[in-house]
């Protein structure tokens, strides 16, 4: 059982804060049943009432800092999934996000990044469905990492961006050994730096 004030991961809602544990007087609700009152981090104006003893939706504690670091170190080993059928692919996206499994979220991100690159090479734009699930996967992943690491959500990607800046400064100062070391450090974690005329970006491998 979770406690008031805990941050948990609740299905596709992602990270939620437990703000109350109480009985609720609502149509269709069991008045003898205890419910969690959850506030999703990605929609703080919303409230979710979920039975304390239900297992209908995957619900778990937020990962620890050590668990997040383990996930990050294994990014390189997570393979994209390839499903030709559009409906089957979307069903797999839904299943992965509902699983609350960060490795599956990373799998979706890598899959959609690859799909988008291929579509761009063909002169096509990304699809609405792909954009929707890419945003949702990134959002859920970043919120959990931010809580686990004790940083703001925006700082999750800022960690990588700071490494990019550090590498850029090293190149400007002709400290190529340091620049290569930073690139290799991120590459070992499955984060590839891409140098372009506009600057340096990254993608998950």
Whether residues 135 and 163 share a domain: the answer is: no
Would you say residue 170 has pLDDT above 70? no
Which tens digit of pLDDT belongs to each residue from 43-101?
899 999 999 999 999 999 999 988 987 887 777 788 888 888 989 999 999 999 999 99
Whether residues 54 and 70 share a domain: the answer is: no
Whether residues 32 and 108 share a domain: the answer is: no
Question: Is 186 a domain residue?
Answer: yes
Hey, what's the torsion of the CAs at 3, 140, 111, 107, to 10 degrees?
Answer: -20
Mean per-residue pLDDT, 174-194: 68
Domain count, the chain: 3
Can you give the residue range of the structural domain that contains 169? 155-204
Whether residues 145 and 163 share a domain: the answer is: no
Which tens digit of pLDDT belongs to each residue from 2-45?
999 999 999 999 999 999 999 988 887 788 899 999 999 998 99
- What was the pLDDT predicted at 5? 96
Beta bridge partners of 22: 35
Whether residues 174 and 187 share a domain: the answer is: yes
Which tens digit of pLDDT belongs to each residue from 111-169?
998 899 899 999 999 999 999 999 999 899 989 988 988 888 877 777 656 655 666 67
Whether residues 179 and 167 share a domain: the answer is: yes
- What was the pLDDT predicted at 160? 58
Distinct helix (H) and strand (E) counts, the chain? 6, 7
Phi, psi (5° rounding) for residue 138? -65, -40
Whether residues 92 and 119 share a domain: the answer is: yes
Cα-Cα end-to-end distance for the chain: 37
Whether residues 134 and 161 share a domain: the answer is: no
Question: Is 2 a domain residue?
Answer: no
Residue 179 confidence class, pLDDT cut points 50, 70, 90? low
- What was the pLDDT predicted at 136? 93
Whether residues 96 and 80 share a domain: the answer is: yes
Would you say residue 103 has pLDDT above 60? yes
The last residue of one of the domains, among 149, 172, 194, is: 149
Beta bridge partners of 191: 204
Rounded to the nearest 10 degrees, what angle do helices 102-121 and 65-73 cross at?
40
The overall pTM is greater than 0.95:
no
145 vs 139: CA distance, rounded Å: 10
């Amino acid at each position: 059982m979770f406690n008031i004030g805990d941050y948990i991961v609740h299905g596709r809602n992602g990270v939620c804060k437990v703000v109350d544990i109480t009985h609720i007087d609502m149509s269709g609700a069991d008045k003898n049943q205890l419910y969690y009152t959850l506030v999703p981090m990605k929609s703080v104006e919303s409230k979710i009432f979920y039975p304390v003893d239900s297992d209908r939706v995957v619900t778990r504690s937020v990962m620890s800092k050590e668990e997040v670091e383990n996930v990050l170190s294994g990014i390189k080993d997570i393979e994209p999934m390839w499903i030709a059928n559009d409906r089957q692919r979307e069903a797999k996206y839904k299943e992965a996000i509902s699983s609350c499994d960060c490795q599956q979220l990373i799998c979706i991100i890598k899959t959609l990044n690859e799909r988008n690159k291929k579509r761009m090479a063909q002169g096509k734009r990304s699809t609405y469905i792909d954009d929707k699930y890419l945003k949702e996967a990134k959002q859920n992943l970043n919120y959990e990492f931010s809580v686990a690491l004790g940083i703001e959500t925006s700082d999750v990607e800022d960690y990588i961006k700071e490494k990019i800046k550090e590498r850029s400064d090293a190149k400007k100062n002709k400290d190529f050994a340091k620049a290569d070391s930073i690139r290799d450090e991120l590459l070992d974690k499955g984060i590839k730096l891409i140098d372009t005329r506009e600057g340096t970006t990254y993608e998950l491998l």
